[in-house]
Amino acid sequence: MMNFYAIRAIYLHEMDRMRRTIGQSILSPVISTSLYFIVFGSVIGGMIPELDGVSYGSFIVPGLLMLTLLTQSISNSAFGIFFPKFTGSVYEVLAAPISSLEIIIGFVGASASKSLIVGIIILITASFFVELEIQYPFLMFFLLVLTCLTFSLFGFLIGLLSNNFEQLQVVPLIIITPLVFLGGSLYTIEMLPEFWQKVSYFNPVVYLINGMRWSFYGSSDISILISVLSLVAFLLACIIGVAIVISKGYGVKN
């Protein structure tokens, strides 16, 4: 039987960390996003014609939203499990009468919730700078939740496998952020030369950004079905990866 009290305790403990670090958790991504809109949306956007029938400032909203979701989900979840490993308090959790599944639900659920809250705040912030039009709000919310959950699982896996703070930051800063910027977050793939268009299709983040963009404006470089299936496939891969690592106890039991 699922121990919901244990899940609730882990979940609330992780959510309380967001309250204690509200500057880093909330203000930092909001300020960063606002600067993007001021520089790209207002200054540079005024010199760029409409893309897919929307202003440049509105066009970059899904890309900036995805940038925030990916980095926040990975960082929150990775740090959430790594810090107890670093301090040794994870052994108190392992000694409690709770299963690995319940531990994962508590940590990953809290990380996904925090990222979702930040994502909604980013959307509200964006509405002050550009005119937002969301043609498929339910699909947009579904993609928000699915992205937060998927990359929180991915971050949890990174936290389990990391042995120090440097390793913890490698994927979000060195891999994810460049992939987002090279994945059409600030431009459409059709603007690239033919060779680089083909190269872009090997970037997995391209499918995420285009899926989110389609939910906003009903048009993107890639089919919405392919985008959703790609995200679901990565979610399944993360679930399998976390299950294998947890079952072997790597990073927490040895």
Does the residue 50 lie in any domain? yes
Cβ atoms of 220 and 210 within 8 Å: the answer is yes
CA-to-CA distance for 250 and 254, rounded, in angstroms? 6
Does the residue 253 lie in any domain? no
From first CA to last CA, the distance across the chain in angstroms is 27
Q: Which of 108, 140, 104, 135 is nearest to 122 (CA)?
A: 140
* pLDDT at 82 (0 to 100): 84
pLDDT in tens, 73-126: 888 888 888 888 777 777 777 677 778 788 888 889 999 998 999 889 888 888
The domain total for the chain is 1
Cβ atoms of 72 and 66 within 8 Å: the answer is no
Other beta carbons less than 10 A from residue 237's beta carbon: 14
Domain carrying residue 32: 4-248
Does the residue 164 lie in any domain? yes
- pLDDT at residue 43 above 70? no
Does the residue 80 lie in any domain? yes
Does the residue 123 lie in any domain? yes
The CA-atom distances, in angstroms, between 95 and each of 83, 103, 237 are 17, 12, 28
Does the residue 105 lie in any domain? yes
Does the residue 134 lie in any domain? yes
Rg (CA), the chain: 19
pLDDT in tens, 183-226: 877 788 877 788 888 888 888 888 888 899 899 988 888 888 99
* Sign of the C-alpha dihedral computed for residues 209, 72, 27 and 43 taken in this order: negative
Does the residue 254 lie in any domain? no
CA-to-CA distance for 254 and 245, rounded, in angstroms? 12
